[in-house]
Amino acid sequence: MNQWINIDFIQHFIYYPYSPEQKWNDRPTWQKAFLIIHLALVAAMFGFGIGINDK
């Protein structure tokens, strides 16, 4: 039972961090910056992983 609670918490945190009804222009600047920085880090890690394994 405890494991399911953990999985539900993680899924909620990953998939539902913000209200989907709120438009992009109405979001606070810190939320926009957080999302853009997070996406940039994921893209950088992906590119770094491809570059390291490209031998």
Over residues 10-55, the pLDDT tens digits come to: 666 565 566 778 888 988 898 889 889 989 999 999 999 888 877 6
Q: Output the pLDDT for position 35.
A: 85
Gap between the Cα atoms of 18 and 31, Å rounded: 9
Burial 17-30 (b: 16+ CB within 10 A, else e): eeeeeeeeeeeeee
Q: What's the pLDDT at 37?
A: 92
Give the largest Cα separation in the chain, rounded: 45
Better pLDDT: 41 or 8: 41
C-alpha to C-alpha distance for 19 and 29, rounded to whole angstroms: 15
pTM: predicted TM-score of the whole model, two decimal places: 0.57
pLDDT of residue 8: 64
Whole-number pLDDT of residue 38: 87
Distance of CA 46 to the CA centre of its chain: 14
